[in-house]
Structure 1
Amino acid sequence: MEILRFAHIILRDFVVHKVVVRKIATGAWTLSVNPGRSACLNGSLQLDRNISRSTFSVEPSVKESTALIYRCHGEPSQVVTLETLKLPPLRSTSVLVKMLAAPINPSDINMIQGTYAILPDLPAVGGNEGVGQVIEVGIEVKTIKVGDWVIPRDAGLGMWQTAVVLSADDLVTVPSDIPVLSAATLGVNPCTALRMLSDFEDLKPGDTVIQNAANSAVGQAVIQIAAAKGVQTVNVVRDRPNLQKLTDGLKAMGATCVITEETLRRPEMKEIFKSYPRPKLALNGVGGKSATELLRHLQSGGTMVTYGGMAKQPVTVPVSALIFKNVKIRGFWVTQWKRDHKHDDEALHSMLEELCTLIRTGKLSSPACTQVGMLDFHKALHSAMKPYTSMKQVLVM
């Protein structure tokens, strides 16, 4: 016990072969060890004997992280900067993650602008979504091991950085046998699409769903998941110069029908619904007049679910739709769903496994992505905010 006696004499910490011995205020000696190493001093002091694990804290093997940080709210191009952060100590319930890829989502932009429903304390690292690989774990972590791929459970954790130390409870493992881009974009848009298709109407093969913003990441996931379930989709997009190319791409994913916002308002919609049953479910990511038109085409008793508001206009519901068609108006936010199921790991893992099965079988692909290095973040932010884009910007580490 030579190390303990020496420590007792000089009353300070020692690190010997990555074993930390210290005396805490209670007078009890504590021991911390790098994950994967057993601890034994002269064969007499074991890791699981008379050790206060709550005081576990060691320097992570990666000391710094390159991160995209904003210190005030505003336009992303003006307030986001690339900085070097010192990583905090690795505690007993923490994990050290090397980030692999992290997309730039509309919610990220809204957070930076200060317009999102939840806002992290400033200064903050951007990014609500991404995938990383675990390279160290705390001694009390049982659900995650070194080498696992992980994604965040909740928003606001800051994924735009090369490495991060987080509580194990803030992460969920995902299979490493799916493409990195699919894993990086798994936790928000595909989850939103699956929950909306599953939780509001009992859809059967042959039923119809109508949606606007069909070329968005959520819209693309809706098309693919619905097609896998045998559900038809009427997909509304804004008119644009490359409309035919976009239409062909969405149909290749499984879209039944692709129309423009202008067509949605025209009498020929009656002809479209001679070929398909009227929709049970409408998915609104735009708001304004587009949402009102979706409502007009719902069958009696159908549901419109609003998950976004790109037009930044309110949803107007015709009185006739409520009285004579008894439509239901609902909202959905995947962050709230995850918080409501915070203690239901089975529900979360079941959802992710269903999505990963679709990915493995080629029925669900990631949205079209442009991979961008951290140094080119200004270009990525600029591209992410362009209108008429179906290309998701993904930061690769």
Structure 2
Amino acid sequence: MQQAAARVLRGARTPQVLSPPVRTPQVLSPPVRTLPVRARSAPAGSAPLGLLYERHGEPAAVVQLKDLEVPKLGDCDVHVKMLAAPINPADINMIQGTYPLLSPLPAVGGNEGVGEVLEAGRRVTALKPGDWVIPADAGLGTWRTQGVFPEKMLLKVPSDISVLCAATLSVNPCTAFRVLADFESLVPGDSVIQNAANSGVGQAVIQIARASGIKTINVVRDRPDLPKLVERLMALGADHVITEEMLRKPEMKDIFKSIPRPRLALNCVGGKSTTEMLRHLQPKGTMVTYGGMAKQPVMVPVSAFIFRDVRLRGFWMTQWRKDHVQDQESVAAMMDSLCQLIRRGQLTAPACTEVPLQDYRAALEASMKPFVSSKQILLL
């Protein structure tokens, strides 16, 4: 069973082994009611709209809601009606001009979302009208009601999952899946420690790890509503939820009386949180950095390298997709495993606030606040 669970995290096509060895925890549904997407989507015959920016700057100042032209459908193109699209930190950074990947200006914002195929070109083989699709890579420009895209820029997803899960599938769950799968050969009973545990990736890590029998130690910032946050993460399947301050206290030893020290640490913050989290890694363990929300450097004691031989790695989902553009089997296996978890209720979308397209300015301003734990979902 341990070998089977390890194969799943490496991208194997046997999703049934993701069933946890313990009782599946009750997972939280988004607190906001999901309205019927088709009723909220723009009619196919109406003039398409999009959130366009012609220069870089603060999103609320430079993004404008404008009419868009839909290009003529080419032989290898697909006409898509977008259903919903989240606002992610990377979307904000791209508009600000600070992200490593920038779209040519003028550009439509949004890297993630889900749409329905309206029409396919005569040489399109994998998609047909009615199929649901998500971006195959970043930079698609999903904050629009309609668009025409090359088939190779889209991935088909099942339409029997919720629209919120589909709209938020291509970034955070995929990142969580890969950081759990690609850096350490984890087996049931192993443990992982992560900061920013209430982020989109953090919540996905908790749920995927729980489904594979892997224990999680989840670090969050102290806050007035900390008990509610702890309760929510525990309901998702977290084994331990602690504050950054607790990382430096002797009480951490009590955690390791029941579970082993982690072989893998996941860092999305930087600064002191990362340094203290690193101290709890097993010798020869690995810390993977996939974000830097504190905008502070990763500081590592020399002793961690010399006496414990820890490894520091980095991960960027966009780069992984580029490296695996010719390896569609790995992409398909990952998507299959994630969709199976969603169907079984073991992987849910983060808590979402649904925002009509016309209210995009408020959504952008909310998303620019640091450490926002809820996503803004544009209904298109």
In the other structure, the counterpart of 1:19 is none
Q: Secondary structure at the match of 2:102?
A: coil
**Structure 1 unpaired stretches of 5+:** 1-60
In the other structure, the counterpart of 2:251 is 268
After superposition, where does 1:270-349 map in structure 2 within 5 Å?
Answer: 270-349=253-332
Q: Secondary structure at the match of 2:218?
A: strand
After superposition, where does 1:4-43 map in structure 2 within 5 Å?
Answer: none
Q: CA deviation at 1:388?
A: 4.3
Deviation by residue 1:197-256 (Cα, 9 ceiling, x = unmatched)? 011101111111000000000000000000000000000001111100000000000000
Q: In structure 2, give the amino acid aligned to 1:330.
A: R
1:68 to 37, 51, 64: 51
Q: Secondary structure at the match of 2:304?
A: helix
Q: In structure 2, what is the Cα distance between the partners aligned to 1:387 and 1:91?
A: 41
1:356 to 339, 343, 354: 339
After superposition, where does 1:1-397 map in structure 2 within 5 Å?
Answer: 62=45, 64-397=47-380
**Structure 2 unpaired stretches of 5+:** 1-43
Q: In structure 2, give the amino acid aligned to 1:366.
A: A
Q: In structure 2, what is the Cα distance between the partners aligned to 1:131 and 1:225?
A: 22
Q: In structure 2, give the amino acid aligned to 1:215.
A: N
Q: In structure 1, what is the Cα distance between the partners aligned to 2:45 and 2:231?
A: 46
Q: In structure 1, give the amino acid aligned to 2:205.
A: V
TM-score w.r.t. length of structure 2:
0.87
Deviation by residue 1:338-389 (Cα, 9 ceiling, x = unmatched)? 1111122211111001000000001000111111010000111112122343
Q: CA deviation at 1:268?
A: 1.7
Q: In structure 2, what is the Cα distance between the partners aligned to 1:388 and 1:121?
A: 28
Q: In structure 1, give the amino acid aligned to 2:95.
A: I
Deviates more, 1:136-145 or 1:339-348: 339-348
Q: In structure 1, what is the Cα distance between the partners aligned to 2:263 and 2:298?
A: 19
Q: CA deviation at 1:64?
A: 3.7
TM-score w.r.t. length of structure 1:
0.84
Q: Secondary structure at the match of 2:355?
A: strand
Q: In structure 2, what is the Cα distance between the partners aligned to 1:202 and 1:184?
A: 29
**Structure of higher CA gyration radius:** 1
Q: In structure 1, what is the Cα distance between the partners aligned to 2:245 and 2:45?
A: 54
Deviation by residue 1:320-353 (Cα, 9 ceiling, x = unmatched)? 1101110010000111111111122211111001
In the other structure, the counterpart of 1:16 is none
Alpha-carbon contact 1:285-1:307 (below 8 Å) kept: yes
Q: In structure 2, what is the Cα distance between the partners aligned to 1:125 and 1:242?
A: 36
Count of aligned residue pairs for this structure pair = 337
Alpha-carbon contact 1:240-1:388 (below 8 Å) kept: no
Percentage of matched positions with identical amino acids: 64
Q: Secondary structure at the match of 1:389?
A: coil
In the other structure, the counterpart of 1:42 is none
Q: In structure 2, what is the Cα distance between the partners aligned to 1:349 and 1:103?
A: 22
Identify, as 1 or 2, the structure richer in strand.
1
Instruction: Considering Cα pairs closer than 8 Å and 6+ residues apart, tell me whether 1 or 2 has the greater RCO.
Output: 2
Q: Secondary structure at the match of 1:135?
A: strand
Deviation by residue 1:152-194 (Cα, 9 ceiling, x = unmatched)? 0111110000001000010010000000000000000000000
